[in-house]
Amino acid sequence: AQTVTQSQPEMSVQEAETVTLSCTYDTSENNYYLFWYKQPPSRQMILVIRQEAYKQQNATENRFSVNFQKAAKSFSLKISDSQLGDTAMYFCAFMKLNNNDMRFGAGTRLTVKP
């Protein structure tokens, strides 16, 4: 079974600074997908970024980037130039290839301070 671990229950960062959220996972699969979702107080789950395991290049989406270390089974999220609107719960998620049920980590509550 796949497990996803987020070891940081809470994080905070000053506005405009950079923060990194950690995620590790356990799987015997070789091909899979990894995701970071953001859940603001509105509770809407918003896809932030995704990474295909077969791609060596780290995914980037504007201020969001990942550090994907396949051998170490690590998938951290870096948020640059943090904004107040980035305040939310962030969930790391794993999904096997061609199997859409996603496994989520416990989440990290990020607070961006003015």
Partner 1 sequence: SAVISQKPSRDICQRGTSLTIQCQVDSQVTMMFWYRQQPGQSLTLIATANQGSEATYESGFVIDKFPISRPNLTFSTLTVSNMSPEDSSIYLCSVDSIPGQGGYGVNFGQGTRLTVV
Structure tokens at 17: 């600074």
Residues 16-75 that bind partner 1 (CB under 8 A): 33, 35, 37, 42-45, 47, 50
The answer to whether 91 contacts partner 1 (rule: CB under 8 A) is: yes
Pair type for strands 108-113 and 10-14: parallel
Q: How many residues does the chain have?
A: 114
Beta carbons within 10 angstroms of residue 2's beta carbon: 17
Alpha carbons 102 and 96: distance in angstroms, whole number: 8
CB of 13 to partner 1, least distance (A): 21
Taking CB under 8 A as the criterion, the residue among 11, 24, 73, 102 binding partner 1 is: 102
CB of 4 to partner 1, least distance (A): 9
Residues in the site for partner 1, rule: CB under 8 A?
Answer: 33, 35, 37, 42-45, 47, 50, 91, 95-107
